[in-house]
Amino acid sequence: SEEEFEVMARAVYPLHFSSKEVIAQEGEPGDAMYFITSGRMKVVREIDFTQAVGQPCVKLLELATLTPGEFFGELSLIRHSLDDNKRHK
């Protein structure tokens, strides 16, 4: 609705991040959604190969590169909302 759009528009504000800055980490609670307007953002996952190779070996696997017009964080909002509803019951 028009009212919902206005509420969302008022909640959006610009953020700037440095190169290689971690914005969100898997497993940590999130309560924000991000829209890429410029630059690129890489989605990576840390994979531990220590058991396979027999010595400490952790690598980053690049899962995606987000570009202007793309977004992320929407799933953390859903999860945040579900968790919040459980706390209030």
Round to whole Å and give the CA distance between 89 and 87.
6
What's the pLDDT score for residue 42? 95
Kindly report the pTM of this predicted structure. 0.69
What's the pLDDT score for residue 1? 84
Q: How far is CA 84 from CA 8, 12, 20, 77, in A?
A: 19, 21, 31, 10
Round to whole Å and give the CA distance between 65 and 43.
6
Find all residues with CB under 8 Å of 10, minimum gap 6, and list them: none
For the chain, residues with pLDDT lower than 70 are 79-89
